[in-house]
Structure 1
Amino acid sequence: MARRVREFDWSSTPLGPLADWDAEVRTVLMMVLGAPMPMNMYLGPDLRLLYNDPSCELFGDKHPMALGKPAREVFPEVWEAMGGRLQRVMDEGVPLTLEDMPVALDRDGLMRDAVFNLHSTPILRNGEGEPIGVVTVYEEITEPVVTQRALRKSEERFRQFGDASTDVIWLIDVETGRIEYISPAFEAIWGTPRRAVLEDRTSWAQFLHPADRKRVMSAMPRCSKGETVTTDYRIVRPDGEVRHVRDTGFPILGPDGSLVRIGGIAQDLTERKRQQKAVEDSERRFRTLVEGIPQLVWSATPGGQCEWVSPQWTEYTGLSVEQSRGHGWLEAVHPDDREEARNDWSRAQAGGELKGEWRFRRASDGIYRWFQTRATPVIEKGEIVEWLGTSTDVEDMIDLQERQNLLLAELQHRVRNLLAMVRSIIRQSADGYDEVEDYVAHLTGRIDAMARTQVMLTRKAGAAVDLESLIRDELARVAEEDRLVMEGPAVELSAKAAEVLTLAIHELATNSIKYGALGCEGRLAIRWFVTRRENGEWLEVMWKENCPSELADASRRGFGTELIEGRVPYELKGEGTMQVRPDGLLAEIAFPLDAGASILEPGPGRPQGANE
């Protein structure tokens, strides 16, 4: 109609050329021509008619000759009812409605009666001046038409909703079994055009995951029986991607209560499944980590009230999760440490970090062991909402630290003793040697003897030295077994006793090679005994040489004599004598077995790690 209006010769009418019409008239005309419902315009004193495309059906064979004609000529059959009202709107400039106006319409080749309400509104010059025309809107109120119109609107709203939905909405006609509607989201989720399933509903099944197909196909008959069914399944898209879908089918009943359609909504759960799997994987990794580490893991509220504990906590303390909740965990803490634990929690609230060292009771034997406890707050919106922490058994570490301190003290002690002994050896060795080579050889031998003792002592901190092993080590290089007799009980020597006795045996052996039994095909007997005296157990060692001929230079006294008769009483609080007899040397050494004990072997009442 817009084309017909533009091409009509309006200059041959009282209205004049279209270009000369008032702006208000041209604006209203554009609105009328674009309207989806039937609308007419009446212009000029004789109410010349203009109308839009939807009005063509109303005019029947009057169209297109009605365009530009006076309304009286176009509608003579209803002018009596309609004309006066239109003229009144034109004259008075007020809107009027003509209700229930019957109109005979040619519909589908048949004349049918229709009923309309006509809503007429004046067109005012400059929007508020005199009326220059009338606009009439035709509202059909014929019942079937109204019903159809409402149905079309409902279907349009449904399609707008379905087309905008990210879920797949579908409808199946029960009678034909065809899919009436499936929303565009199908193409995004299934990865294929809707056309295929709209043309052949059964093609939908080819996308089902083989493992789910039988289960899913059995759900549709249940919907056909009026049941609402929700099914989770997987689909395999043409590109090979597997997606998870939750599909709910439900019955749609007609006016008579019979099943006419099956409707459904299919949701894409793929991302939700991925997130769920990610959470499950994270929880599994966390659980594996927590259950695999040796620490006791726990969580608590800001006030130090326990919420959760790991299996290690329950196994170690014997307290279940329920028993540990709140302040129940303090039952595992040593009574002397509980107040400190509470204070540590108070400080943690202010400092943002929990640090504490408390003793926890081990349920298996009731022993308390030291644990280092650390926790970090979980902060949300600037507030601490939870604490996550661990408690680590540091009892062995503390023992090692104490042991390390003892080792350092022992090292300092031994170095002082060794330096003092070396000074004494050097000073004593300087006398009686005319040649530097002899001096160096004897000095080296004595230092080597000291070194062998240190090797034995440093194999383990605080280790004792076996007396027989010490003597054999010194004599192995100089004495033949068939000329040597060794007898005595098993005796463990302290570090100090081993140091002094090693040098004494070395000096006795060296002198025996030069002047005694080991140098003259004689025999050597070394015997030792453990005796009890008033101040405890003593070790007595006897060195007896038997030479086949009288000893040469039997009156010589040197470092060995000084060592046995001087250092044994001083260092070991014992006794030492040497008798050079014509048939061989007799040396006797005796000292308390605990005399001069190593610093790593504290006696009663002596604190560990104390320096001498």
Structure 2
Amino acid sequence: MSTASYTFLNGGGQAGGLIRAVDWSATAMGSPEQWPESLRSAISISLNSGFPIAIYWGQEFTLVYNDAWSSIPGDKHPWALGKPGAVVWPEIWDGLKDQFNAVLRTGESIRQPDALLLMNRYGYKEECYFDYTLSPIVASDGGVGGVFNAVIETTYRHINERRNALLLSFWENLNRSAGVAEAAELICAILNRAPDDICFCALFSGSGPEGHAVPLSGHLSIPGESLPIIASLAEGTAFSGKPLKINGLDAYLPGPIMSSYDEPVKEAVIVPISNGDTRLRGYMVLGVSPRKRLDDEYMQFMEAVGRQAGTILNNAYGNEINDAYLREQALNEELAAANEELAATNEELHQAQQRLNGLTDELEAKVVERTRELEESYEEQQALNEEINAANEELTSANEELAATNEELSETQIHLQRTLAGLAESDERFRNLVRDASVGIILVTGKDLTTLIVNDTYARLIGRTVAELENRPLFDIIPEATSTFRPVIERVRDVGEPLYLADQPYIVYKDGGTINGFLNVTYQPYRESNGKVTGVMVLCQDVTEQFISKRKLELSEERFRFMLNAIPQQVWTATPDGALNYVNEVVAEDFGEDGGSIVGQGWQKFIHPDDAAATLNTWQKALASGREYQVEFRLRMKNGNYIWHLARALPYREGGKIVSWLGTNTNIEIQKSNEQKKDEFLSIASHELKTPLTSIKAFNQIMRRMNKAENLGTFIEKSAHHLFRLEKLINDLLDVTRINAGKMVYDIQPFGFKEMLLESIESVQLKSERHAIILEKADDVDFNGDRLRLEQVMTNILTNAVKYSPEATRVVVNAAVQDNGIVVSVQDFGIGIAKEHIEHLFGRYYRVDNTAMRFEGLGLGLYISSEIIKRHDGTLWIESTEGEGSTFYFRLPLQTNEEDRITEYEGYYGDRSITIEHNVAHFRLDVDWKGFQNVESVQRGGMKMLEMLTKAGASKVLNDNTHVLGSWSEASDWAAQVWFPQMAAAGLKYFAWVYSPSTFSRMSAEKAADTTPGLVETRFFGDPESGAAWLDEKV
């Protein structure tokens, strides 16, 4: 038969078509007509799901997968279809096969969040991360036939968070370097913490002219003999200003450069550290991880590293500029002092010149007077000559004084010229530093804040030119920024103290458009020579990219915290020395305290005193050895009860050093309880087996001593009764052993169901004189199953009904065809069962203690009955009221050729068991479950809900169970362990669960929903209207 004729292989897109094209008879799975119903159901669910699902079937784990999963094997698709898991994944199978075998062996699910798998998907060993579950697929023979693998690839998120953490380290250190050399050392130190993404680094930077070589500023993880070759490769390709890729790097080098994975680095990239407009230029050579493909995201990350490194270097260069500015201020003060000294010298020179002019005028007057008098008298002439000689001597002295003054004036003028020249040179140098700075700089003065100095970088920030800004009031040009920045500038000017503001948003308008971003701003008061503040120098660094990266990192950290809180168990981290430093919300909820308070107190407050010493000793040994920590202890919950937990922790290493511990505490109270019940059972079993043996032995001894044969009949009958009881106990034990080993044999044949009921009732009625077992109704249908095993179920339920209603006189039986199945009920009117015991009744070794009376038996009957019903794809449940009696139900599906009609369109899905509608007006999914449910229908409907929730982006669900019949308890574990955590991860926040009328179904609902505390708020309601009203209150 062609695979295209099998309805369970319908759909599935491209993967579905490929599956139908495979010759499965040539694989270990064999022809599809031989496939068991459990495999067919699993494949049908996967093909019609938008969630990535793979099925590994049989002992060879033959692989079948759907469209959503087909991207995971990379280039191995579609070759991987129909191949054994060990053939598809030889590189990781040694680490996975134990998990897969454990699922086959134990039938228990396994979940691995964020697991590292080094997979060969594209021709090289790749670093990959996955959140996956391995769930059992129960085959018809009672064993586990295969593994159901639901998976989400988390590689991008995990690596992106790691890379964002590195970029955040750059951002946190943007302004911590006083100079360029110190900045280069800091950059190498930051990159040393990222060996998984950057295997080596060479940094080249300088302030020479464009097109000239720049020197090596720093390097990391490059052997000395390889460094000159790296430098020559970089120098030959680095002046394009664009990122460049170097392939086949190992062919150029004398020896390999090893990565953190002990594999040689074969690729490198050259990324610029500036955009060409900055004074400080350069590039970086970065080694590419051999376990990641150099795709667009990787290249963008490398470019971001280059930009961040360039920002650190240029900020350091800006700090040098600021130091030069401070030195300029000091030179201005020195020049002011020189000007004052020059003014005083000029005043003194002026006074000397005035005295000299006075002496000259006085001498000339005397000469004229003496000449006239000489004409009158020779004697007077002679006397005049003497006076002239004296005057000449005085004039000579005055001339000498004038010459000295002139010489002093000349020296003062030379000093003044030199000072003015130095001032001009200093001012030019200062203006050049401002012009070439990589940060925006503007100097505004006066009351109207007129622009005195401004550079191109600042002008570009606001979409203007230097010419548009110079000598104009700043806020006449950008009035929209007045309310944000003018009050700050005026305060710095008035107070005279500098101010630094980080991550300041700004917005300006230009040509009808908007320019916005984020700035780190330094406001520095500008002082004149007399110390008066007349303006403010503003330094603006554009940190828009860093701010966005920081915000993305914060969101990434929030998602990481969300993931930790999504895990339905206690998660914690500790420092390398063992101090607790984080607990997730599950811990806080369990303990009823704030997470910060728990971290401050540590585990000591919550660990049982009897377990504290051993726990501390084990923890200290793990810290000392750096190996896995594992211990069992009891923790005190918020209700005061101590619950057993299994604690496990692993060290997280960076650069070979432990930087933290990641641990979990898993609730193992159920396992411990089962161990205790098993011990109690063994004690009960030894007693129950010993009692009939003792009685038989006593009767045999009596019969051996008896002389009259006519009295032997009574003791033989009593011995036979105890032998029958002993045989039943042994058969129960053997059945449990067969069930656990998956070796329970079933003889599937058609038979009359009503006839089987009548014979079972007759068999039990013969042993019960007090009770009348009444068959009220029984539809006469043919059923395909193991008659003897189902008769065993009926006998067990009827026997219990008689046994646990000692004061009653009747038991009522009904069997009716309903919803493609036959539903059987057995009602007694006895002691009833308390609600807390009902959900455990089908467990091994469980017996309900009743203080009023004790009943014999091992407590295995209902467990065996439940397993027999399961193997017939049926369900078993109970409704009971303590003191009034119990009704046991089981439902068996009838074979039918009727196909399930599916209706599906945008925002709607409907089949026989469920309808799902995207309620756009109320931002939720409205879900209505209908009729009898089983594992297959619950899983199919649940995965469709997950798909529609993800597509709609909804966070609320109205889950109506009022139309559910019977019980879906067999699917509750899957819903709790797999489905609910996946719904939480997809965005579910509020879940309104409308109860089914069945008590058993209600308990299944409560069990399934109690797995995501703190992530999904679940409320239970008696009607849909109340649930819808509650959801409408949630935003």
Q: Same fold (TM over 0.5)?
A: no
Quickly name the TM-score band, shorter chain normalised. Answer: 0.3 to 0.5
TM-score normalized by the length of structure 2: 0.27
Structure with more helix by fraction = 2
TM-score normalized by the length of structure 1: 0.44
Bigger radius of gyration among the two: 1
